[in-house]
Amino acid sequence: MPTPLTPDFRVDEPSVERIIQAAVHDGLHGVFLAGTCGEGPWLPDRERQRLVRCAVRTAGGKLKIAAQVSDNSVPRILDNAQAAAEAGADYAIIAAPATLLNATPERITAHFSEAAQACPLPVGIYDMGRHRPIMIPEADLKKVYLLSNVHFIKDSSSAPERRAIALAAQKEKPSLTLFSGDEFRSMEYLTAGYNGFMFGGASAVGPQLQQIVKLFLAGRVAEAEAIDSEMKRTLYGIYGGEKIACWLTGLKYYMVRRGLFTTATSFLGYPLTDECRAYIERHVATTH
């Protein structure tokens, strides 16, 4: 979920309430707060806590609430996780830290493993693979996934070899849930055996995702693929084309035009191109 912000970069609680209500209406099972799309690494700690508290309060038990708690040391991760737990989150998600000095393979694995084992909430591992300079080594990935407190994976690596490791871990631990974090390879991941999706664009295309999964599970693969193709066209339009020129600003502007957000303010400063704006205006006019 993208995080709605006021012009002075505080969490916009009325907009949080509206997007959570929309997620319930769209039939989503949960929301991931303060992730990459949610600008969690840029939010002040107090604002992350306000975000989680507001989402939990608004969801009223109708959605599972996961919060990113990633940080540069295990004690900081555990502090973040305790704050998320006190705010009412159901899960803590751990991704690669922004900075980790002396980042040997052994230290990276220990960073994730020690945090996951001591976390006060059930854990999801957010794997961005080679999209980030710090990643769990493939030799240790399965070992981390099999830790008792790891309940699900958000796989945004787009790497077949890392996907294969996740599937092998699930075979040994059937309770492990696998989510694709790659909105442009949804059918590929479903076909491989993943259980569902967890990515920022889901806040824009939730109903289509529900249809894709239902059709796929019913064996109506061609119909699922047709909806998936339309979904990707929608996301590329909102994001500003295949170069993802607008990305977060486009997504937030889409939320503004839907009446969910008040502003498209973000920490990341992506542009809103004329092409992106025009697509969003057309799309909202014809679908909402």
Q: Which parts of 88-220 fold into alpha helices (H)?
A: 105-118, 138-145, 160-172, 186-192, 202-217
pLDDT value of position 287: 87
What CA–CA distance (Å, rounded) separates 268 from 55? 22
| Number of domains present in the structure of the chain | 1
Residue 98 pLDDT = 85
Q: Which residues contact 287 (CB under 8 A, 6 or more apart)?
A: none
CA angle 3, 9, 11 (to 5 degrees): 45
The CATH number of residue 191's host domain is: 3.20.20.70
Phi, psi of 99 (to 5 degrees): -140, 135
pLDDT tens for each residue of 78-133:
999 999 999 999 999 999 998 899 999 999 999 999 999 999 999 999 999 999 99
Mean pLDDT within 150-170: 98
Would 65 be classed as within a structural domain?
yes
β-pairing, 177-180 vs 64-68, is unpaired
Half-sphere exposure of residue 154, counting CA atoms within 13 Å on the CB side?
A: 24
| For helices 202-217 and 221-239, angle between their N-to-C axes, nearest 10 degrees | 170
Laid out side by side, the sheet with 196-197 consists of 30-33, 64-68, 91-94, 123-127, 150-155, 177-180, 196-197
| 19 has pLDDT over 80 | yes
Which uninterrupted H or E stretch holds 178? strand 177-180
Asked whether residue 110 is domain-assigned, the answer is yes
pLDDT in tens, 39-77: 999 999 999 999 999 999 999 999 999 999 999 999 999
Determine, yes or no, domain membership for 246: no
Q: What is the mean pLDDT of the chain?
A: 97
Q: Which structural domain range is residue 157 located in? A: 13-219
- 46 lies in some domain: yes
Return the sign of the alpha-carbon dihedral for residues 266, 43, 137, 202. negative
Least Cα distance to 217 among 239, 190, 237, 252 occurs for 190
In a domain, 235, yes or no: no
What are 240-267's pLDDT values in tens digits?
Answer: 999 999 999 999 999 999 999 999 999 9
What local confidence, expressed as pLDDT, does residue 88 receive? 98
Please tell me the predicted confidence (pLDDT) of residue 288: 77
Residues composing the chain: 288
Identify whether 184 is part of a domain.
yes
Q: pLDDT exceeding 90 applies to what percent of the chain?
A: 98
Q: What proportion of the chain, given as a percentage, has pLDDT over 70?
A: 100
Indicate whether 213 belongs to any domain: yes
Residue 272 lies in a domain: no
Residue type, 287: T
Distance from C-alpha of 263 to C-alpha of 16, rounded to nearest angstrom: 12
